Amino acid sequence: MANRGESMIKAMDQLLLFENDVSNERIALTSDDADVRFTKSFIAPQEADHLFDFLKDLEGWRQDCIRIFGQVRPLPRLHRWFADSNQPYHWSGIEMHPEPFPDVLQVILELLWNEGGVRFNTALGNFYRSGRDSVAWHSDDEPDLGPDPVIASLSLGATRRFLLRKRDDHKVVKSFELTHGSLLWMSGSTQALWEHSIPKTTQTIGPRINLTFRAIRD
């Protein structure tokens, strides 16, 4: 495992992983300051392959349960929490204790800083084992993120459909195909005015890992 991680760091240092693509353009959802940008090839395919394999084999993925309408149900995905600090992360009654960023993710943090000028200090990892795994409608609007947070979401593995809908009008829906190595930025009032989800699918698809980078205030 260590050798694979070291070789990946070396490869990523040698290759600046950005590719020019028409999908890199900035997409304005509305005129009310919500802002979403999609980069189809944030990291090159070979490096995305290495990162996916590294994370998939990393021990520590867990499945928690949440209470929905009075019933306790397992989350339809695995997850983990990377952070610079030792502070636990709480959401929906779940307490997650942080683990340090592996060196390969330190490289990604630097790429995100160079690309978006944000010093992220946490990352929530989600492991979608198949099309049956999903995430329900929600917004990343925890108080620790502050007002109008910037979120960077890196996708690895199988392509999954990502949906955005207006909080006050569920008929307004935007859709993105999150591909291997792609990056979705959400900023401005996006979390205040929009919700997002990864719906289940009956299609036979492989696993996907998503890393949602956030800057949590001290």
Q: Which CATH number describes the domain made up of 2-214? A: 2.60.120.590
CB atoms within 10 A of CB 41: 19
The predicted structure's pLDDT at residue 90: 77
Helix (H, G, I), strand (E, B) or coil at 10: helix
> What angle separates helix 103-116 from helix 45-56, to the nearest 10 degrees?
130
Kindly give the confidence (pLDDT) of every residue in the chain, 218 residues in length, as a single tens digit, with 9 standing for 90 and above.
445 455 555 545 443 333 334 444 445 455 466 789 898 889 999 999 999 999 999 999 999 987 777 788 899 999 999 999 887 887 777 888 899 999 999 999 999 999 999 999 999 999 999 999 999 999 998 888 898 999 999 999 999 999 999 999 999 899 989 999 999 999 999 999 999 999 999 999 999 999 999 998 86
Instruction: Quote the tokens at residue 100.
Output: 């340090």
The predicted structure's pLDDT at residue 19: 39
Q: How many residues does the chain have?
A: 218
**How far apart (Å, rounded) are the C-alpha atoms in residues 113 and 111?**
5
The answer to whether 195 and 206 are in contact (CB under 8 A) is: no
Instruction: Quote the tokens at residue 12.
Output: 């990523």
**How far apart (Å, rounded) are the C-alpha atoms in residues 186 and 28?**
10
The predicted structure's pLDDT at residue 18: 37
In this prediction the pTM is: 0.86
The predicted structure's pLDDT at residue 150: 95
The predicted structure's pLDDT at residue 2: 47
**How far apart (Å, rounded) are the C-alpha atoms in residues 196 and 140?**
9
**How far apart (Å, rounded) are the C-alpha atoms in residues 14 and 187?**
30
**How far apart (Å, rounded) are the C-alpha atoms in residues 86 and 96?**
10
User: Would strands 94-96 and 194-198 be described as parallel, antiparallel, or unpaired?
Assistant: unpaired
The predicted structure's pLDDT at residue 22: 40
Domain range summary for the chain, segments of one domain joined by + = 2-214
The predicted structure's pLDDT at residue 63: 94
